[in-house]
Structure 1
Amino acid sequence: MNYTAGLAIALAVAFTMSACATDSSKSTSTTDSSKNAPYELVQGYPTPDTAQRAQDDADFQRAVTAYRFWYPAVSVEGIFNGNRAVGIQDNLAMGIAAAGPRQVGFTLNSDTPYGSAALDLSQGPIVIVVPPGPYIGLVDNHYQGWILDLGLPGPNEGRGGKHLILPPGYKGQVPAGYQVGRSSSFKVLLAVRALPMKGNVQGAMDALRKLKIYPLSTAAHPKLMTFVDVTETSMDSTALRWEDNIQFWEELHRIVDAEPLVEPFLPMYGLLSALGIEKGKPFAPDARMKAILERAAEAGRDQMLVSAFASTRPDRLAWPDRKWEWIGLVPGSAQFETPAGIDLEARDRWFAQAIVTSPAMFRRTAGAGSLYWLAARDGTGAYLDGGKSYKLSIPQPVPGKLFWSVTVYDAATRSEVQTDQDKAALRSMFELKDASTSAPVDLYFGPVAPAGHEDRWIKTNPGKGWFAYIRIYGPQQAAFDGSWKPGDIEETK
């Protein structure tokens, strides 16, 4: 597993010690009259009221820390449960879809058909055979820690290959001829996209059906997983219904109880134990702890959204004279490692609005699989408002070998906007296939279609915020060196 002990320790220390240090520096007074002391101490001892408040504060701090660290695990469980809710069972089937607004999922897109499956390694290793072709895929563990890449970003670079995912502590013989990934969890996520070359969506859907996924124990006569097309199915693959209430902790308890302990996470299991979540024991918070946990879930979620949409870091900006921002703030790192340690804000920022990790997703080099930028504000710095109308100018040609798109997301759900238009993206292979490849292309967003530009417009919802992603597939050097850049999203009257 690619998470390190430093990740857990850094999070435990960074999220708790700064607040605790501030409080302790003020609480050393031995007088009752200090107006600055957050807690009252008499002759060096806490009063009963102080003891209760300090215990509540400490549990709240622990809970916010735990929430932010474990959010990726609960988020990926949302993907698993989204599949299960529509009848796609672990190890039996993969859901495939040419996704649209009806599939609620953190920043899913309509550019490339998706396939996703929950694999259960508790019964043994799983084989994944990817044919040659334009696939982009990965396997992540239950904590959204990267295990391996498939397809174009993998070591075979699209030439096809056989992959083997091993369960925690696997001691059996590993057969030759496979690219091997070892998981620290029994449940893992397989996510694969097939690129619709020349706009052939049906061809991409058919390509997903050519994957072969089966238990290694059946290799002589493979027991293949089946495929379920959910393109027209409404489904929710997020943790939205859990993320701000006690259900977050109930889901987390189920995950901790079902999975083996991960040694680098020991400091974070310690936090959970202090909150009443422990492997092998029931989770039954009393009224006091339940109130603290619910408050911490709201605060933790909101703090992560601040990292996503209100960061003040200068390095988030893709260009100094634009409001467009990098989605991933740590280039080329699957787990947000930097020479100075784990970039905590980059981690929060990513998982608040997106899913899965892989080094390939964060590369900033020409020829990388894809490149994403985010805009949550217009050119004046104001948040994008679903009740207002906007225009975005995209210079041509866009520096990408394959294709590009602009997708619009609801700020509250971090999923494609849902309107009666039933569309959330403008794509170079589809809606914009006849657009100029030399003159700038203008795109429009708002509650009412602009006269004469209905075919280049995405409808938004009054009273709701929204944000946009630009995606470039097969980005070229001009996408990185500043010689090409989009306009800002500008309000129109």
Structure 2
Amino acid sequence: MKRTLLAISIFAITCNASASSSPDAVSSMSDRYSTLANLEMNGGFPTETSQEILQNESYFQRASMLYQWALPIVNMKAMQEGHAELMNGTAYNKIAIYQDRLKPNSLITTPNSDVIYAMGWLDMKETGPLIIEHPAGLQSLMDDMYHHPLRGPLDKNQPGGQYLGDIGNAGPDKGKAAKFLILPPNKKREDYAQLADKYFIYESNTSEVFLFLRSFFKDMNNLEPAVNRVKEIKVYPLNGSAESMEFFNVSDVPSKSIWDNDYRFYETLNRAVQNMELATFDPYMNGVMAAIGISKGVEFTPTEKQKEMLTKAAQTGWKISKEIALNFDEKSSETTGDTWFWKEAPSWVAHGLTEQGNQYQALSDPYYHNIKTDYTNVDAITHMYTNHYSISSGMLNAKIGAGAKYAGAYKDKDLNPLVGSCNYSLRIPADVPASLFWSVTAYDAATAAGVNVENHQWPSLGDRDNPIKNSDDSVTLFFGPTAPENAQLAKYNWLQFDNDSWFSLIRFYGPQQSLFDGSWVPGEFEKINCVK
């Protein structure tokens, strides 16, 4: 009994210390490390008591490391399962449409309320290759269940020489109506070469594929044309009969498409593993999964004690991922690249790694490998998938006039975290380099879903909201619980919310030259005052 109590008490320090940032907590963590380092040995072997402590520690550390590695997979699986509840399952012919724009009642990581979203998960296990008839004018992408972009046609003008994930505006069709052939893992591109003049061919690592459609509207009060454009899509098997398309309007249905940060995180991971092809690109992490009980074809049955450890590992992994996101502006290194988007405005960070003066090609590829070293950018991938989803080459690299670029802010101009009890202003200079639209969205720091805004239906403001301009054609936006004194600014330029903490994304759709060469730089969030 004494041995078991000691093992559990040493392990418990892991989360108890992380519950506080006080000096006592830091001291407790130091004591924990010292205790582990000084565990009793009998010659070259751990004593019986030390063995159990080390076994628990090994299980915990592997599970915590696995949390960060598996974030892209669990993020994708949670989205699929959340939408399966909205559509009575997922299938190649089922598409969920946020017909009235995506609202804060839909819990998804950093959704964009300024386009019409549509999502589907296409399953090729029984059908084999699928055909997508993609309408003109959409900006879409396809990722596999590992959150890797599908491999498309070769193109020497593309970074890496190949389209990765993008179809539609940033794809090989350049936004024109086109047909795409999607191949499951057991099919090879060369076997379908005779169809290359009829279809753009994309290859997937998994039999299920995430299809993500974005349709644009010009008039905030008339979304119907954008919704109808989505409904022109057709998906059907290359061979055999086809089911009719089914579209589900889901804007007004509260939903949860984010994961749980307890032992259920690993249950979600297990369901993903059981349902998809196990990749060979990372056999070590496949082994780590197996070490905590997750292995394809094997039932995952953790004991109650293991569930307790998995819960603490998930909570710790989540907190580590949030620290990485909050301080992503500080994660730069001479060996890996920069994390900020603009050196002159360092609180704005990029989705991947960058080189100053060259936003045309990110140092991270869509698999989050450093293009110079081929290392995995571990902080960048954790930052990405704890707070965001979906990836393609067009999201990371220059697509002037097509695609989209994003920057995130977790801190104000003084590099202090954004908090809901304070009021902030943000200046957007004139001539924003976005041919389609630009917007700024506020997100809850804990869930990464949109904040609940009291004076606006959606948690974003942008050019199509017709904000009041300054005399130099710049725009000043306001965020926080207290309205600006000017009534017009309060009506058109202010988002009212009172979250504990929050962060923001600025989006540029149809990005232009000045965004990539650094000649246009936005302002940073400036604290006005705090009300608590």
TM-score grouping bracket, smaller chain normalisation:
0.7 to 0.9
C-alpha separation in 1, matches of 2:48 and 2:368:
43
TM-superposed deviation, 1:458 = 0.5
Q: Give the conservation status (yes or no) of the 8 Å contact 1:212–1:225.
A: yes
What's the CA shift for 1:289?
2.1
* Offset of residue 198 of structure 1: 5.7
SS at match of 2:49: helix
Aligned residue in 1 for 2:209: 188
1:318 maps to which of 341, 360, 364? 341
Q: Summarize the Cα distance change of 1:156–1:353 in structure 2 as closer, same or farther, 3 Å threshold.
A: same
1:405-452: CA deviation from partner (whole Å, max 9, x where unpaired): 1111111110110133332111212343x7469422111111132231
Alignment pair present for 1:304 and 2:321? yes
Query: Per the alignment, do residues 131 and 35 of structure 1 end up closer, same or farther by CA in structure 2, a change over 3 Å counting?
Result: closer
Q: CA RMSD in A?
A: 2.2
Aligned to 1:465: 501
The change in CA–CA distance for 1:350 and 1:402 in structure 2 (over 3 A counts) is same
How far 1:223 moved relative to its partner? 2.7
The residue number in structure 2 matching 1:388 is 422
CA distance in 2, matches of 1:45, 1:396: 68
Corresponding residue SS for 2:435 = strand
Tell me how far 1:379 sits from its aligned partner: 1.6
For residues 237-263 of structure 1, the C-alpha deviation after alignment (integer angstroms, 9 at most, x for no partner) is 222xx2x11111111111212222222
Query: Which of the numbers 95, 100, 103 marks the counterpart of 2:103?
Result: 100
Which letter does structure 2 place at the counterpart of 1:135? Answer: L
Contact 1:88 1:228 in 2 (8 A): no
- Counterpart of 1:126 (choices 116, 130, 135) is 130
The change in CA–CA distance for 1:226 and 1:37 in structure 2 (over 3 A counts) is: closer
Does 2:167 align with 1:143?
Answer: no
Partner of 2:199: 178
Other-structure match for 2:65: 65
Corresponding position: 1:231 with 2:251: yes
Q: Which residue of the other structure, out of 518, 521, 531, is the alignment partner of 1:482?
A: 518
Supply the distance in 2 between the matched residues of 1:224 and 1:180 (Cα, whole angstroms): 23
Given that 1:60 and 1:293 are in contact with CA atoms closer than 8 Å, whether structure 2 keeps it comes out as yes
Instruction: State the Cα distance separating 1:374 from its structure 2 match.
Output: 1.1
8 Å contact from structure 1 (residues 378, 491) kept in 2: yes
Deviations 1:426-484, CA, capped at 9 Å, x for gaps: 1212343x74694221111111322312221101115x101111111122222233322
In the TM superposition, what is the alpha-carbon distance from 1:100 to its structure 2 partner? Answer: 2.1
Q: CA deviation at 1:48?
A: 0.9
Deviations 1:324-354 (A, max 9, x none): 2223325161111112211111111100110
Count of matched residue positions in the alignment of Structure 1 and Structure 2 = 452
Find the residue that maps to 2:281 and give its secondary structure.
Answer: helix
Matched letter for residue 223 of structure 1: E
Secondary structure of 2:53's aligned partner: helix
| CA distance in structure 2 between the partners assigned to 1:265 and 1:126 by the alignment | 27
Match of 1:425 in 2: 460
> What residue is the counterpart of 1:400 in the other structure?
434
Distance 1:230 1:437 in 2: 41
In structure 1, list runs of 5 or more residues that go unmatched. 1-33
Note if 1:252 corresponds to 2:256. Answer: no
2:327 partner letter: A
Unaligned 5+ runs, structure 2? 1-33, 151-164, 333-337, 355-361
Cα shift at 1:101: 1.7
- Deviation per CA, 1:365-396: give whole Å up to 9, x if none: 64351111111111222211111111111111
**1:118–1:190 CA contact under 8 A, matched in 2:** yes
Cα 1:228–1:470, aligned 2, differ >3 Å: closer, same or farther?
Answer: same
The answer on whether the counterparts of 1:423 and 1:458 sit within 8 Å (CA) in structure 2 is: no
The verdict on how the C-alpha distance between 1:36 and 1:228 changes in structure 2, with shifts beyond 3 A counting, is: closer
Q: How far is 1:136 from its partner?
A: 1.0
Q: What secondary structure is seen at the aligned counterpart in 1 of 2:522?
A: coil
Distance 1:326 1:271, change over 3 A: same
Report matched runs for 1:305-384 at 5 Å.
305-311=322-328, 312-314=330-332, 315-322=338-345, 323-329=347-353, 331=362, 333-338=365-370, 339-340=372-373, 341-364=375-398, 366-384=400-418
Distance (whole Å) between structure 2 residues aligned to residue 37 and residue 391 of structure 1: 49
Question: In 2, distance between residues paired with 1:336 and 1:326?
Answer: 13
Cα deviation, residue 168, structure 1 = 2.3
**What SS does the corresponding residue of 1:122 show, helix, strand or coil?**
coil
Note closer, same or farther for the CA distance 1:457–1:207 as it changes in structure 2 (3 Å cut). Answer: same
Whole-angstrom distance in 1 between the partners of 2:182 and 2:418: 43
Instruction: Report % sequence identity.
Output: 31
- Residue range with higher mean Cα deviation, 302-311 or 83-92: 83-92
The whole-number CA distance in structure 1 between the counterparts of 2:179 and 2:481 is: 48
In 1, the alpha carbon distance for the partners of 2:473 and 2:294 equals: 58
Preserved contact between residue 88 and residue 94 of structure 1 (Cα < 8 Å) = no
Say which SS state the counterpart of residue 150 (structure 1) adopts: strand
The DSSP-based 3-state class of the residue aligned with 1:210 is coil
- The separation in 1 between residues aligned to 2:350 and 2:168, in whole angstroms, is 24
Matched residue, 1:19: none
> Structure 1 residue 112 and structure 2 residue 115: aligned?
yes
Number of the residue aligned with 2:446: 412
Q: Which letter maps to 1:280?
A: G
Opposite residue 463 of structure 2, the aligned amino acid is S
Matched-pair contact (CA < 8 Å) for 1:215–1:223: no
Q: Is the 8 A contact 2:331 2:379 kept in 1?
A: no
Letter in 2 for 1:126: L
AA of the residue aligned to 1:238: I
Q: Deviations over 1:95-125 (max 9, x none)?
A: 0112122222111011110110111111122
SS at 1:270's partner residue?
A: helix
2: distance between equivalents of 1:431 and 1:226? 35
Residue 71 (structure 1) shift: 1.6
Aligned 8 A contact 1:397 1:438 in 2:
no
TM (norm. structure 1) is: 0.86
Encode CA deviations 1:215-273: one digit per residue, 9 max, x unaligned.
2234xx6433221122222222222xx2x111111111112122222222322221111
SS at match of 1:72: helix
